[in-house]
Structure 1
Amino acid sequence: MKAFTIEPNRKTKQLAKLLGGDVYIVGGFVRNALLGKKCDDEDLCSAYTLADLEKKLEGSEFSLKNKNKSFGTCKIVCGDKSYDYATFRKEEYVKGHCPEHVEFVKELEVDANRRDFTINAIYYNLKTGEILDPFNGFGDLQDKRIRAINQDILKDDGLRILRMLRLAGEYGFNIEFHTLKAAQANIQNINDLSKAKITEELTKLLTRTTNKGAVKAIKLYNRLGVWKRIGLDFTIVKPRMVGKCEDKFIGFLIDIVDTVNPASVSYYLSHICENAGFTKKQFVKIINVISGYYDALNHMRNKQYFFKYFDNFQDIYKILAKKSKIVAQKYNFFYKYIISHKLVIRKSDLKISEKDLKKHFPSMPEKMYESVLMEALSDVFDGRCPNDASELIKDIGKHHYHKF
């Protein structure tokens, strides 16, 4: 393992001095520092209650936000820097990932027992610089192992299971045998998670991991039977393109489509993206890129292809080249030809619009505007008509006068 230094932010040191006593950084910041990795989030904890914090920070540049006195949590804010803070506590769960009962305590060792994995239960004392490691999390970091604090930890919170799988992919760690068995035994807890929590974990999985790490995590999802638990209609995903694509989210969706083989790619992806909480604008582009990938593999004719996918082709090309360099080069040649010869490829590039159709052909049904303009675009592209407003109107009248 790399040599490490734990160097808190300057404001963190200032905050610790104001608070006095033993205040600790715990979780991802310490874990990543010990791994020689960067982490900007400094999660703090101590025996101080929120009332204690308010007294100690009164009149300073630090303030408390998002206070939850029942759980002893808040955000400590100073300018653009913020910290998640939690009072030492022990918890009791009944169902879901939120504890039903919380009791504040003075002992760090008691607080440590509520945490999930040993590698996340390493405390750094801001006052003394001492590292406290009650469960040998440092040893697990050295051995690249994820181990639960105890087997009951996964009985209460399905989110911890998803976090465990994501961390295994993110760091390339193995999951300790008994921890994995406990996750399998309690996999039904994932059913209680909100769509937002599931989407957040999947997003982290696909953005924080390497391609190899994403493949590892997806295989663990397969092994534990997670997909149907989170509302998807398959049991396994064959992680191929997610291991190759720069945009792992798109690679992951392609792997889903290849696994499921739906009748309509665009309809199926719309359903997946809407369920994942993406905005319409976000998933329209995603669906266009992936549809363009499949239509290229199915050898759609060049003209029709670029009428539909020209604006997103650079993104399509990146993933297409990972699947078939020959197909990617074929379409890329035509793409460059369109650009170099300044061909009219978009409906918006025509010198007429729907307003012109309405003006010159008032009896034309509005539902026909799209098809008439696309036919005009085809004529311009093929050189049968110049891209000139008067010529286009004349051409449309010539071909459609009997209709309007």
Structure 2
Amino acid sequence: MPRGFIIGELMNNLKINNLKFNKIINLIIENNGIPFLTGGYIRDYFLEIKEKDYDIEVYNITFNDLYSLLKSLYPKTKIVGKKYPIILLDNIEISTNNNIYNSINRRDFSINSIYYNLKTNKFIDFSNGLIDLKNKIIKLNNLDNIKKDPIRIFRAVYLYSKYNFHIDSKTAKTIKNSVQLIKTEKKERIFNEFEKIFNNVDNISKAIKYLNDLKIFNVLFSDFNFKNNILFSLNRLKKKNTSIILAILFFYTDKKILKNNLKKITNNKTLFNNIYSLTFYYSHFNSLYNNFDLTKLKRIVISTNFDNLLTLYSAINNINSNNIKIKKILNNYNMKKSDLSPIIQGKDLLKYYPNLNQKYYGKILKILYNMQLNNLFNTHLKGLELCYKLINNRYIFINKI
């Protein structure tokens, strides 16, 4: 390990204005613990970026004793992680260690391994993370760390694309040679990393390109078809969310295997349906774009998220809101929006049918919304009458619900 150095005297004390955080730190110190703040918070502190999450390592207190202390103060405190247990309280993660050198060696990258002693108010950097921060370099503390936790490949991609950093050559080579190991990780961990990239990286196309260059999509998904149009579409994306990004990513993949691919990274059925409906109703929106018809618009609105579909269509076709045809669609949508909003909602079922099994709510609401769009009712009272008939009609209840 490189020779470490203390840089505390060169810096002003780090001030954290978080009541819960400071209360926890005071409790640790009062019980002879030595708390260090490290990880992303310190990295972003030097990058002058506000970070909301805290990663604390505590020395001189056992894990169980620390957990008992915090649990007595905050009953919602819980333990997460099997391989490396962590005490979690809201956005504060706390672990215990016996040897700071071994702890630093286990951390992923040098820029995430700068420590701040919250008792002595000194910064400590044993892996030259500050130098790498200054030079915008992502470097593994230990080249074996990727093999121990392949998810760190995603972390490297995140840092590379979010901060526009460079990846150290040895680190890049190790990452490239370790990509196949991602298949051994649980899908929940993989999906969490995708979401972190999707939700926090501004230059999302840069992240997707690097993931594709590493062949990660080919490792995770079958018959994955990557085209440069994916990157162009992502660059044009005006609104980001996981459903839209994945819809673009899988847009050129056979729709028949779309769900099978998604199942390899998540069990979220709502997400499956959202993405599938966006890719499926893309052609319907294209028909609407070329030949506007109010019935087509209603069918799209009832079947998928209109705003997301509009965003997807515009990004793929490089169309902006000033486009004449898009303006016409939007004007009609906005004029009819009140008519298109569901008149009967879940709160009505809860109020008037509290004893009804809630597993039927979604299907009942969908039937009522179809009836509304087909002009079978346009008032709340008439909607409730039809809801009553629907629930009490044995044939409909059995065959439609």
Question: CA separation in 1, counterparts of 2:164 and 2:330?
Answer: 39
**Does 2:73 align with 1:73?**
no
RMSD of aligned C-alpha atoms? 3.8
Match of 2:42 among 25, 30, 44: 30
Aligned residues of 1:222 and 1:237 also touching (Cα < 8 A): no
Secondary structure at the counterpart of residue 93 of structure 2: strand
Residue 170 of structure 1: how far off its partner (Å): 2.0
Question: CA separation in 1, counterparts of 2:162 and 2:291?
Answer: 41
Change in CA separation of 1:254 and 1:19 when aligned onto 2, cut-off 3 Å: closer
User: Which residue in the other structure is 1:249 paired with?
Assistant: 242
Change in CA separation of 1:63 and 1:133 when aligned onto 2, cut-off 3 Å: farther
**Please, which runs of 5 or more residues in structure 1 have no aligned partner?**
89-104, 350-369, 379-404
**Quick one: which amino acid aligns to residue 49 of structure 1?**
T
Question: CA separation in 2, counterparts of 1:58 and 1:166?
Answer: 32
User: Which residue in the other structure is 2:217 paired with?
Assistant: 227
Aligned residues of 1:302 and 1:331 also touching (Cα < 8 A): no
Residue 179 of structure 1: how far off its partner (Å): 0.2
Secondary structure at the counterpart of residue 21 of structure 2: helix
Aligned residues of 2:138 and 2:156 also touching (Cα < 8 A): yes
Give the percent of matched residue pairs that are identical in Structure 1 and Structure 2. 23
Residue 82 of structure 1: how far off its partner (Å): 5.7
**Quick one: which amino acid aligns to residue 19 of structure 1?**
I
Match of 1:15 among 18, 24, 35: 24
User: Which residue in the other structure is 1:53 paired with?
Assistant: 66
Residue 115 of structure 1: how far off its partner (Å): 0.8
Residue 281 of structure 1: how far off its partner (Å): 3.5
Change in CA separation of 1:237 and 1:148 when aligned onto 2, cut-off 3 Å: farther
User: Which residue in the other structure is 1:324 paired with?
Assistant: 319
Secondary structure at the counterpart of residue 151 of structure 2: helix
Aligned residues of 2:71 and 2:77 also touching (Cα < 8 A): no
Question: CA separation in 1, counterparts of 2:250 and 2:76?
Answer: 46
Aligned residues of 2:248 and 2:312 also touching (Cα < 8 A): no
**Does 2:324 align with 1:333?**
no
Secondary structure at the counterpart of residue 301 of structure 2: helix
Residue 235 of structure 1: how far off its partner (Å): 6.5
Bigger relative contact order (CA 8 A; separation at least 6): 2
Question: CA separation in 1, counterparts of 2:94 and 2:87?
Answer: 6
User: Which residue in the other structure is 1:362 paired with?
Assistant: none
**Quick one: which amino acid aligns to residue 316 of structure 1?**
L
**Does 2:309 align with 1:295?**
no
Match of 1:306 among 280, 292, 297: 297
Aligned residues of 1:22 and 1:125 also touching (Cα < 8 A): yes
**Quick one: which amino acid aligns to residue 87 of structure 2?**
K
**Does 2:166 align with 1:174?**
yes
Question: CA separation in 2, counterparts of 1:109 and 1:288?
Answer: 51
Count how many residue pairs are aligned between Structure 1 and Structure 2.
328
Aligned pairs for 1:156-171 within 5 A: 156-171=148-163
User: Which residue in the other structure is 1:191 paired with?
Assistant: 183
- Greater Cα radius of gyration, structure 1 or 2: 1
Residue 129 of structure 1: how far off its partner (Å): 1.3
Question: CA separation in 2, counterparts of 1:203 and 1:295?
Answer: 28
Change in CA separation of 1:135 and 1:237 when aligned onto 2, cut-off 3 Å: farther
Q: Deviations over 1:113-139 (max 9, x none)?
A: 111100111111101111111111111
Secondary structure at the counterpart of residue 45 of structure 2: helix
User: Which residue in the other structure is 1:41 paired with?
Assistant: 53
Match of 1:284 among 273, 277, 280: 273
- Give TM-score, length-normalised by structure 1: 0.69
Secondary structure at the counterpart of residue 135 of structure 1: coil
**Quick one: which amino acid aligns to residue 203 of structure 1?**
E
- Give TM-score, length-normalised by structure 2: 0.69
Change in CA separation of 1:148 and 1:284 when aligned onto 2, cut-off 3 Å: same
Change in CA separation of 1:174 and 1:305 when aligned onto 2, cut-off 3 Å: farther
Match of 1:124 among 99, 116, 126: 116
Change in CA separation of 1:52 and 1:281 when aligned onto 2, cut-off 3 Å: closer
Question: CA separation in 1, counterparts of 2:257 and 2:191?
Answer: 17
